[in-house]
Structure 1
Amino acid sequence: MTEMYVGGQYAESNPTWHAEDAPWKAEQVAGILADNEIEVSRVAEIGCGTGEILVRLAGRFPTAIFYGYDVSPQAIELAASRVRPGIEFYLDDPLGKSGHDYDVVLVADVIEHVEDYFGFVRGVKDLGTWKVFHIPLDLSAQSIARMWPIMNLRAGVGHIHYFTKDTALALLRDCGYEIVDWRYTASRLELPNQALSSRIVSVPRRVMHKLNADLAVRVLGGYSLLVLAR
């Protein structure tokens, strides 16, 4: 599956690398860090894409230094235009390599793309103190009943693993993490450029979420999981 990102197939299908979603994602990350009073000085993002999330975070944490890593040359080429003092990007995979000690490591919408996701998550643990994971919760009753949403994610954006809240948290715990905080993010309700089907079901998703958040996510989907761990 790595060839999809290294060879350019993903870039052809997703030429913006979802940079338009970065402002929203950065707000979610900044929020959970602020709520837990996490000191932000050296931040690494693994699978940074165009680097726009780090650019947005730099606006929230102007004294911090940010490092973005990606294995895709197409992504790093786009990220190069975002290099500035305090923000650096590397065509590299830092997992398993010495010399990395960040206070915050960000992994936003990456785990579901990685073939050996257990090995990947364990490798991230050694890179720094605090980790922020953002994981799409693709599995819900409606997505399984229809199935085509899951298969479209596989074909279009390379999701090869699919999670619920419980399986995502179990993965992190199985890999030795302590879960410090977690929350749902309304990815299919608040991100731009949503499909018509997502817009139609947005109202029942919001209403049901207010009544019973866990049940709403399990039945109707449309949410992701944001986790602060160490």
Structure 2
Amino acid sequence: MTEKIYTEENSEYLKKNPTWHAEDSPWKAKQIIKMLDRNPIHPKSIAEVGCGAGEILNQLHKTMPDDVHFTGYDISNDAINIARQREKSRLEFRSEDFLKINSKFDLLLMIDVFEHVDDYLGFLKLCKHKAKNTIFHIPLDISVNRLLKNDLMSLRKSVGHLHHFTKETAIATLKDCGYEIVDFFYTTSFLDFPRKTISSKITYLPKKIMYKTNKDITVKLLGGCSLLVMTK
């Protein structure tokens, strides 16, 4: 699995994920706003690396003050072609390698990104000085439930996850790459998203009770969460 799945014309990733997960973007944008509300920063320039279809920035553009400028970067022309349909005043998208630009921003968003990158440690280190603060959204793929079902490989095939994390390894990775942790919290897709299958409907209430009782244990056992982290 390499960057070719994103960069080739009519890429494999686009074929498997034709919306580029834009339907999840309003929920992700709400998590970002929640993090910003919890911490006293007021960015005027926001960049997103690996912006995909651009809907997260579009949602933030609708919500945040009128003096904030948003720029999305992606190496995939497929993604940028979708994202540019959302361009407007203070919101632009660029088909560029983020590591090669000289600009610096108040806030960098890296939302479900570095688990897709071959050399994710090198990538994180090179992004470190691109912004005053960075917000990461990191899927926590490793859980007892997923390991027992032996389906980590399905994430590699369907959504291109090359690396898998727990809360502890995600935070340790960021620290090892020079980031200072400001704040973090779980994002609970298993609680927040509609329950479409019979099994998810049956297990919803027990999982909700477990999560309220002990978040860490529930996430380690059952999965279904990601980690939102703010750094500087």
Same fold (TM over 0.5): yes
Pairing 1:1-230 to 2, within 5 Å after superposition: 1-7=2-8, 8-61=11-64, 62-98=66-102, 100-148=103-151, 150-191=152-193, 197-230=199-232
Once residues 31 and 22 of structure 1 are traced to their aligned partners in structure 2, the CA distance between those partners, rounded to angstroms, is: 14
Instruction: Output the TM-score relative to the length of structure 1.
Output: 0.95
Q: Which amino acid aligns with 1:3?
A: K
Once residues 199 and 96 of structure 2 are traced to their aligned partners in structure 1, the CA distance between those partners, rounded to angstroms, is: 37
The C-alpha deviation readout for 1:83-120, integer Å capped at 9, x for no partner, is: 1000010001121432x110000000011111111011
Q: How many residues align?
A: 228
Q: Specify every segment of 5 or more residues in structure 1 that has no aligned partner in the other structure, as ranges.
A: none
Instruction: Output the TM-score relative to the length of structure 2.
Output: 0.94
The C-alpha deviation readout for 1:7-39, integer Å capped at 9, x for no partner, is: 111001100000000000000001101210211
Greater CA drift, 183-192 or 209-218: 183-192
Q: Specify every segment of 5 or more residues in structure 2 that has no aligned partner in the other structure, as ranges.
A: none
RMSD: 1.4
Counting aligned pairs with the same residue, the percent is 45
SS in structure 1 of the partner of residue 186 of structure 2: strand
Runs of 4+ that moved beyond 2 A: 191-205
CA apart distance, 1:147: 1.1
Indicate how the Cα distance of structure 1 residues 17 and 193 shifts in structure 2: closer, same or farther if over 3 A, else same.
farther
Once residues 25 and 127 of structure 1 are traced to their aligned partners in structure 2, the CA distance between those partners, rounded to angstroms, is: 22
Once residues 195 and 125 of structure 2 are traced to their aligned partners in structure 1, the CA distance between those partners, rounded to angstroms, is: 33
Greater CA drift, 164-173 or 29-38: 29-38
Is the CA contact (8 Å cut-off) linking 1:25 and 1:53 kept in structure 2? yes
Once residues 194 and 67 of structure 2 are traced to their aligned partners in structure 1, the CA distance between those partners, rounded to angstroms, is: 29
